């Protein structure tokens, strides 16, 4: 079975990349232009596998089309470059709303009181099976590659986090020895963020990263790909941990081309 899946994926990656898909990527995913030609080719292969294996569904009246599918797949697959991957193995479906959506929410207060209401969301990631996204926010997050906000990077970082068996800010690092350094560096980074926010000091990471360790990793992933030079300067150890995990060095891309021109 595993040999069949591997051969099938190899065939998909070797097929010519559809010209209309490339037009979508070049229009909607500026990150693509920052990649080397070799990385672009690798990304194209990942996209073809991803789109073959994952189901997309339009919600809230949104009609699904290739622009939506390819735009999301391209960003999700940027996180997979240069690494052995099973293409988000527990993910089955991506649900896409036209814009932010509302869900029922209940909060338990310290005194035991439960407050029920609705919560507006741009996206969410479930441990098994589903990622939910707002198409407006997918486009907006992709368009500005330097603002530190990208809902696809964020939600698919949660998917990577869950590959370790739980969503707690530590993805599958393969070797147990790597978890020690990961826990130390990201734990210190998380505590520093909490302290900075408590004392009203400016922070590079969005305050949402202080929600818990899982959100810290997801927001950190957004910052790693969208503000790499700033992250490397202000939090070098955090940058090194993510560079080791993602096997990418986006600060070099930013230095070489300013994040706007194609590398060769």
Sequential pLDDT tens for the chain (264 residues) = 568 899 999 999 999 999 999 999 999 999 999 999 999 999 999 999 999 999 999 999 999 999 999 999 999 999 999 999 999 999 999 999 998 776 656 555 555 554 555 566 778 888 788 999 999 999 999 999 999 999 999 999 999 999 988 899 999 998 888 899 999 999 999 999 999 999 999 999 999 999 999 999 999 999 999 999 999 999 999 999 999 999 999 999 876 654 443 333
Residues 229 and 251: beta-carbon distance below 8 Å: yes
Which strands sit side by side in the sheet containing 55-58, from one edge to the other?
55-58, 91-97, 129-134, 123-125
Q: How far apart are CA 226 and CA 65, in angstroms?
A: 27
Q: What residues contact residue 173 under an 8 Å CB cut-off, 6+ apart?
A: 164, 179, 182, 245
Residues 170 and 217: beta-carbon distance below 8 Å: yes
Q: Please report whether residue 264 resides in a domain.
A: no
Q: How far apart are CA 144 and CA 15, in angstroms?
A: 30
Q: What is the pLDDT of residue 262?
A: 38
Structural domain containing residue 32: 2-257
**Closest-CA residue to 28 (of 111, 152, 126, 132):** 152
Could you give the angle at the alpha carbon of 95 between the alpha carbons of 211 and 220, nearest 5°? 30
Q: Please report whether residue 155 resides in a domain.
A: yes
Q: Please report whether residue 152 resides in a domain.
A: yes
Q: Please report whether residue 34 resides in a domain.
A: yes
CATH number at residue 54: 3.40.390.10
Q: Please report whether residue 263 resides in a domain.
A: no
Q: What is the pLDDT of residue 257?
A: 55
Q: Please report whether residue 262 resides in a domain.
A: no
Residues 221 and 153: beta-carbon distance below 8 Å: yes
Q: What residues contact residue 104 under an 8 Å CB cut-off, 6+ apart?
A: 116, 117, 118, 119
Q: What is the pLDDT of residue 112?
A: 53
Copy the structure tokens of residue 106: 């209940």
**Closest-CA residue to 32 (of 138, 143, 140):** 143
Domain tally, the chain: 1
Q: Please report whether residue 183 resides in a domain.
A: yes
The pTM of the whole model exceeds 0.85: yes
Q: What is the pLDDT of residue 244?
A: 96
Q: Please report whether residue 8 resides in a domain.
A: yes
Q: How far apart are CA 73 and CA 67, in angstroms?
A: 10
Q: How far apart are CA 145 and CA 212, in angstroms?
A: 25
């Amino acid at each position: 079975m595993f040999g069949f899946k591997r051969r099938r994926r190899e065939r998909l990656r070797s097929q010519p990349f559809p010209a209309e898909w490339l037009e979508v990527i070049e229009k909607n995913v500026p990150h693509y232009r920052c990649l080397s030609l070799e990385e672009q080719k690798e990304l194209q292969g990942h996209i073809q596998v991803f789109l073959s294996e994952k189901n997309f569904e339009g919600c809230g009246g949104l009609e699904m089309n290739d622009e939506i599918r390819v735009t999301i797949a391209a960003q999700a697959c940027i996180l997979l470059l240069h690494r052995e991957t099973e293409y988000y193995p527990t993910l089955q479906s991506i649900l896409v709303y036209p814009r932010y959506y509302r869900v029922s929410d209940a909060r338990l207060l310290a005194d035991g009181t439960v407050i029920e209401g609705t919560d507006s969301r741009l996206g969410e990631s479930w441990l098994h099976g589903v990622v939910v996204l707002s198409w407006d926010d997918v486009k907006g997050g992709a368009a500005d590659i330097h603002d530190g906000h990208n809902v696809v990077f964020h939600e698919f970082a949660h998917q990577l986090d869950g590959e370790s068996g739980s969503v707690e800010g530590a993805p599958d690092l393969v070797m147990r020895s790597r978890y020690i350094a990961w826990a130390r560096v990201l734990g210190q980074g998380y505590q520093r963020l909490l302290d900075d926010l408590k004392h009203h000091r400016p922070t590079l990471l969005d305050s949402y990263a202080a929600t818990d360790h899982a959100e810290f990793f997801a927001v950190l992933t957004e910052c790693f790909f969208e503000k790499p030079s700033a992250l490397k300067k202000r939090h070098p150890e955090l940058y090194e941990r993510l560079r080791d995990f993602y096997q990418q060095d986006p600060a070099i891309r930013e230095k070489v081309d300013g994040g706007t021109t194609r590398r060769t």
